[in-house]
């Protein structure tokens, strides 16, 4: 397994990480435990979750599953999502963060978080208040590193400049949606992360499964898939033009002895700003497949050919 530094920090993360949005929802504890054990077995160390995943069960399941293996994994969780009704139940105020971090620590059954991320920007709380609170958590030892997710480029820059001016702990990572199909972050977010030394942790690297090849031209989305319950997204994504590109990518990968999952991950990892690709898994064999995908290193010629194919997305 290959490891990279998380941005400009000294933290080493596996180039493929585990996304856990399905834990506590689509997956019960027994399924979760099998996946987590396989993560450790194949050498992945980044496990990414949120206090909101699985209505808090994701953190609970992970905490139980990593018992006795805490030193082999990096636990990354998030704060900001709605956690209840009424005031102060969401966002990044000092009150909400301080309450939620202790709840996350308890559910994960650990006394520290390797990475604590702001899940969404909070327009109602000054970034200084958020950063001062996160800085306190680092100084207290409850949190080792801090990051953000779903931030615009200007919001990342604002946070980094504020941290610099006030001598506060800076973000070391940003977690945006990023894939061969969804490249919006390349306009501002990725250059901003590169300039400030943040490592990118892409989520949805397979574009809701489209890049796996599970969806077929002229056929409805299979039951149980993300697009099956979203007809609007399916109609905009499952077009003949997009299938033309997908089939070209599948041929590109097959000619080189690789799968589409391999290609999707390798393409992201060809970007030096990417530290670890966050990929979900519901079965141990998917963990193994994802881990192997991180072994393929695309050449400059490969990337040039792919640029031509990807330019045709609609």
Map out the domains of the chain with their CATH numbers: 3-208+268-296 (3.20.20.100)
Residue with more model confidence, 217 or 185: 185
| 314 pLDDT tier (thresholds 50, 70, 90) | low
| 57 pLDDT tier (thresholds 50, 70, 90) | very high
**Does the structure show a pLDDT above 90 at 226?**
no
By mean pLDDT, which of 37-51, 183-197, 220-234 is the weakest?
A: 220-234
**Does the structure show a pLDDT above 80 at 225?**
no
Mean pLDDT within 280-286: 96
The predicted structure's pLDDT at residue 239: 86
**Does the structure show a pLDDT above 80 at 287?**
yes
List alpha helices for the chain, DSSP H: 29-42, 57-65, 94-108, 127-140, 153-166, 189-196, 231-237, 240-255, 260-269, 284-293, 300-310
Mean pLDDT within 102-108: 98
Q: Which residues are catalytic?
A: 53
Calpha distance 270→47 (Å, rounded): 21
By mean pLDDT, which of 119-123, 162-166, 259-263, 309-313 is the weakest?
A: 309-313
Q: pTM here?
A: 0.95
Alpha-carbon distances, residue 160 vs 25, 76, 77, 203, 291 (angstroms): 35, 20, 20, 22, 32
Tokens 């250059």 belong to 191
The percent of the chain in helix, strand and coil, each rounded to the nearest 5, is 45, 15, 40
Per DSSP, the three-state class of 12 is strand
């Amino acid at each position: 397994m290959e490891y990279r530094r998380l941005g400009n920090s000294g933290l080493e993360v596996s180039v493929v990480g585990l996304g856990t949005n399905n834990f506590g929802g689509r997956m019960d504890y027994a399924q979760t435990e099998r996946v987590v054990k396989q993560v450790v077995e194949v050498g992945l160390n980044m496990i990414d979750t949120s206090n909101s995943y699985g209505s808090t069960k994701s953190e609970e399941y992970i905490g139980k599953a990593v018992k006795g293996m805490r030193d082999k994994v990096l636990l990354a969780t998030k704060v900001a999502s709605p956690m209840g009704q009424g005031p102060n139940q969401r966002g990044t105020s000092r009150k909400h963060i301080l309450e939620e971090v202790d709840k996350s620590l308890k559910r994960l059954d650990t006394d520290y978080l390797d990475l604590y991320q702001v899940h969404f920007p909070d327009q109602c709380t000054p970034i200084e208040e958020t950063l001062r609170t996160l800085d306190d958590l680092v100084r207290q030892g409850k949190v080792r590193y801090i990051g953000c997710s779903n931030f615009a480029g200007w919001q990342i820059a604002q946070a980094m400049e504020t941290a610099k001016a006030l001598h506060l702990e800076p973000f070391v990572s940003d977690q945006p949606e990023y894939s061969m199909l969804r490249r919006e972050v390349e306009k501002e977010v990725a250059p901003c992360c590169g300039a400030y030394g943040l490592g990118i942790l892409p989520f949805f690297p397979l574009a809701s499964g489209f890049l796996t090849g599970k969806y077929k031209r002229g056929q409805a989305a299979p039951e149980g898939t993300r697009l099956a319950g979203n007809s609007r997204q399916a109609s905009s994504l499952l077009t003949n033009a997009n299938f033309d590109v997908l089939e070209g990518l599948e041929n590109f990968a097959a000619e080189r002895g690789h799968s589409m999952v391999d290609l999707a991950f390798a393409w992201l990892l060809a970007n030096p700003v990417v530290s670890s690709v966050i990929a979900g898994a519901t079965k141990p064999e998917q963990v193994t497949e994802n881990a192997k995908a991180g072994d393929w290193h695309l050449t400059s010629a490969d990337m040039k050919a792919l640029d031509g194919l990807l330019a045709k997305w609609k």
